[in-house]
Amino acid sequence: MKRYFLLLVMAIFALQASTAQTSCSTYYPLTDDVSFQYTNYDKKGKEEGKINYKVTDVQNSGSTTTATMVMEMIDKKGKTYTSDYDITCDGNVVTIDFESLMNEQMLSQMGDMEMDISGTDVELPNNLSVGQTLPDANLSIKMKMGGGINMNTNIETINRKVEKQESITTPAGTFDCYVIYSETRTKMMMTNQTFPSRMWLAEGVGMVKQESYNKSGKLMASSLLTQLNK
């Protein structure tokens, strides 16, 4: 369960790149009952599972929009893990309430383990352009696992750059995208790894595709938008 919790957190952190600015820009439809599904694949293109998202409880007050993102993660064996978290769009910046991830359901799944989550948001400007450099971001997870054992995980997204524009087709449709390159640096216990990735981002949709690579640039895993209901 601890491993799947980390996968859920990393899924939120990845999606944050597509929810950044939400209704404050044209990159994501922050509207009640909008839902979308991503299918995850391994390096050989074999399906590894799915992640479903649904936008609920959208509220507007002046220039601020708040909503709840409901997330369901289904592994290749059909086992399901769910969570939800709050997001706020204020002007040109979206923030995610990481504390809201510690909802009653998630806490019951984690047992007696205590944890603290903090970080800085992934940001996207309203107007992307090829060659543009984007701000870094990070996520820190501190876990108290009992017996005096603590596990700290730090996930950084660095070297973000808009590489090109490209049209791609998925089961959800055909989308004109900006391709954003970044590197994810993960520090956990004695492990320190950095992996490159690319994200295809479409206006009015968010993330359409994502690929992760090893240090040699070979594909390790990918995610694809396979359903979209607006």
Beta-carbon contacts of residue 165 (< 8 Å; ≥ 6 apart):
130, 176, 177, 178, 179
Mean pLDDT by 10 residues, the chain (230 residues): 50 49 55 89 93 88 82 87 78 62 53 70 75 87 74 86 96 94 85 89 88 90 92
The reported pLDDT for the residue numbered 24 is 52
Amino acid in position 99: E
The reported pLDDT for the residue numbered 167 is 97
Q: Say which DSSP state 24 is in.
A: G
The reported pLDDT for the residue numbered 110 is 53
Do 160 and 136 touch, CB atoms closer than 8 A?
A: yes
Beta-carbon contacts of residue 156 (< 8 Å; ≥ 6 apart):
136, 137, 138, 139, 184, 185, 186
Beta bridge partners of 85: 69
The reported pLDDT for the residue numbered 20 is 41
Cβ neighbours, 10 Å, residue 138: 16
Domains present along the chain, CATH in parentheses: 2-229 (2.40.360.20)
